């Protein structure tokens, strides 16, 4: 049933709506609209200049309109006179194909036309730092093995509990919060859901965490590797597939290896087949490859993959199957666009189903200690440029994600890489000035 946003505002005491969309680089763009104007905005959308965001547009393009999807509306628990609502981008009366939420909705619908609902959950890790991001916010958080540190998580109780209370209020089903493997790093988990709903929640979660951190005089960052010596921010994605009414997990089969059905293996086969190209979406920034290809961190492990392998309940591989009926993709990091992450998982998985893809050999070794013995497994890209080239070479994945989306994404990301390589670094000055 369609939500009437004007009636929602009246019932909830909302004065303003934040009509929000996510651009190709994962930045959230919004306009603050008074409740008195929301009826027009619900039908016509809020106007934006697309070129002013990270979309592949020019100043000469028509107005972009963000049409709010009223089913996604969330009243801000920390500022109750404002409500956030995810929006779909439209230009000249047509959905903008390159817009991330539109891309996900198209792929989600492609799955549903095959009688399938992809359900996912994410583990969005983040650091709490000083406002300038220069160091973690807790000077006492210095343990070599800080994961699950009881004292450290309690020193940030005010921030963590406030966020968790809000998730409880929103009905997300949060079930655990912990201090993660890096000093100053945290993770908060909530229930899995349909892929689009997970993407909306993931997007809102990042907004909420940053807002609450700022309220407490801190900064939250989801940057993949903000500190050289510490474990980076992952965004592990748990994936399962169901029939349309949600009564049957299509990935579950107790008679199969690890409880993963034939369909589950084919879906996983698609993920494995497209993994190198996948990285351009799941690990979308220059800094991402400092996490994937990191040396040992202070805690002793990076907790991130560097090769394209899968396993059972073993966290040293790109994909693990921790239990029947689902698998965990450990490749994505904190910079992953919430909508494109879900979209590319569905695209690769549907390709795998169509082609009856085999995920290949299962490895049960410790990849951190014995990975060098695995000669058959390809390495993940070493940098963003390699990932973009892999994506550009993967015609099937590009087509599945949408030709318009893929062309725009590659264009802007290659421009970003060129900008990065033109930057003169301190390392270059220190090591090559006297050549």
Domains of the chain in start order, with CATH, are: 9-95 (3.10.20.70), 106-419 (3.30.590.10)
For residue 69, CA distances in Å to 79, 130, 195, 254 come to: 21, 35, 15, 39
Residue 264, judged by CB atoms within 10 A of its CB (0-12, 13-18, 19+), counts as buried
SS3 203: helix
Q: Which two tokens stand for residue 68?
A: 């709010």
Q: Which residues pair with 19 in a beta bridge?
A: 31, 85
Q: Which two tokens stand for residue 22?
A: 């996510």
Q: What is the pLDDT along the chain (435 residues), one digit of tens a residue?
A: 689 999 999 999 999 999 999 999 999 999 999 999 999 999 999 999 999 999 999 999 999 999 999 999 999 999 999 999 999 999 999 999 999 999 999 999 999 999 999 999 999 999 999 999 999 999 999 999 999 999 999 999 999 999 999 999 999 999 999 999 999 999 999 999 999 999 999 999 999 999 999 999 999 999 999 999 999 999 999 999 999 999 999 999 999 999 999 999 999 999 999 999 999 999 999 999 999 988 888 888 899 999 999 999 999 999 999 999 999 999 999 999 999 999 999 999 999 999 999 999 999 999 999 988 898 999 999 999 999 999 999 999 999 999 999 999 999 999 999 999 999 999 999 999 999
CA distance 34 to 38: 7
Kindly state the helix (H) or strand (E) to which residue 235 belongs, with its residue range. strand 235-243
| 223 close to 124: Cβ distance less than 8 angstroms | no
Residue 301: the pLDDT is: 87
Residue 299: the pLDDT is: 86
The overall pTM is greater than 0.85: yes
E strands of 277-345, at which residues? Answer: 310-311, 319-323, 326-329
Q: What are phi and psi of 131, to 5 degrees?
A: -55, -30
The residues, ordered by sequence, that sit 6+ positions from 66 with a Cβ below 8 Å of its Cβ are 19, 20, 21, 29, 31, 45, 46, 48, 87, 88, 89, 90
Residue 1: the pLDDT is: 60
Residue 102, judged by CB atoms within 10 A of its CB (0-12, 13-18, 19+), counts as buried
CA distance 389 to 413: 11
SS3 104: helix
Chain Cα centroid distance, residue 377: 25
| 194 close to 117: Cβ distance less than 8 angstroms | yes
Q: Which residues pair with 65 in a beta bridge?
A: 47, 90
CB atoms within 10 A of CB 91: 19
Q: Which two tokens stand for residue 277?
A: 């190209």
pLDDT tens digits, 126-170: 999 999 999 999 999 999 999 999 999 999 999 999 999 999 999
DSSP 376: S
Q: Which two tokens stand for residue 334?
A: 């904190």
Angle formed at CA 425 by CA 420 and CA 431, multiple of 5 degrees:
135
| 308 close to 249: Cβ distance less than 8 angstroms | no
The radius of gyration of the chain from alpha carbons, rounded to an integer in Å, stands at 22
Residue 349: the pLDDT is: 98
Handedness of CA 285, 291, 292, 293 (dihedral sign): positive
Question: Taking phi first (over 0 means left), then psi (-120 to 50 degrees means alpha), and beta for anything else, what does residue 133 get?
Answer: left
Q: Which two tokens stand for residue 154?
A: 């309690």
SS3 241: strand
Nearest to 196 by CA among 19, 343, 351: 343
């Amino acid at each position: 049933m369609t939500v009437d946003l004007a009636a929602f505002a009246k019932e909830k005491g909302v004065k303003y709506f934040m009509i929000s969309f996510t651009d190709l680089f994962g930045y959230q763009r919004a306009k603050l609209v008074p409740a008195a104007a929301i009826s027009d905005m619900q039908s016509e959308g809020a106007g934006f200049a697309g070129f002013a965001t990270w979309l592949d547009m020019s100043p000469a393009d028509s107005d972009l309109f963000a049409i709010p999807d009223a089913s996604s509306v969330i009243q801000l628990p920390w500022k109750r006179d404002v409500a956030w609502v995810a929006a779909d981008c439209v230009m000249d009366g047509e959905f903008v194909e390159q817009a991330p939420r539109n891309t996900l909705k198209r792929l989600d619908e492609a799955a549903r036309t095959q009688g399938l609902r992809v359900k996912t959950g994410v583990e969005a890790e983040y650091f709490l730092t000083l406002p300038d991001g220069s160091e973690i916010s807790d000077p006492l958080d210095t343990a070599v093995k800080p994961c699950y540190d009881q004292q450290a998580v309690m020193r940030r109780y005010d921030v963590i509990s406030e966020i968790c209370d809000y998730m409880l209020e929103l009905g997300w089903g949060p079930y655990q919060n912990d201090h993660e493997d890096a000093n100053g790093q945290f993770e908060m988990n909530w229930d899995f859901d349909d892929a689009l709903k997970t993407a909306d929640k993931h997007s809102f979660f990042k907004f909420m965490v940053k807002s609450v951190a700022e309220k407490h005089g801190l900064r939250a960052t989801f940057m993949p590797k903000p500190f050289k010596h510490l474990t980076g921010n992952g965004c592990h994605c748990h994936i399962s597939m169901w029939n349309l009414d949600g009564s049957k997990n299509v990935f579950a089969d107790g008679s199969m290896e690890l409880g993963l059905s034939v369909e589950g293996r084919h879906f996983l086969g698609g993920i494995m087949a497209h993994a190198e190209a996948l990285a351009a979406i799941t690990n979308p920034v220059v800094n991402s490859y400092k996490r994937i290809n990191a040396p040992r961190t202070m805690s002793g492990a990076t907790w991130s993959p560097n090769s394209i392998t899968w396993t059972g309940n073993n966290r040293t591989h790109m994909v693990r199957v921790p239990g029947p009926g689902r698998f965990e993709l450990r490749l994505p990091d904190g910079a992953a666009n919430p909508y494109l992450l879900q979209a590319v998982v569905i695209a690769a998985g549907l390709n795998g189903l169509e082609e009856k893809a085999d995920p290949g050999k299962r490895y049960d070794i410790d990849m951190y200690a014995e990975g060098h013995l695995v000669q058959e497994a390809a390495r993940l890209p070493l940098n963003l440029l390699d990932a973009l080239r892999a994506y550009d070479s993967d015609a099937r994945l590009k087509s599945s994600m949408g030709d318009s989306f893929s062309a725009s994404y590659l264009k802007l990301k290659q421009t970003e890489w060129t900008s990065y390589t033109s930057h003169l670094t301190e390392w270059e000055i220190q090591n090559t000035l006297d050549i």
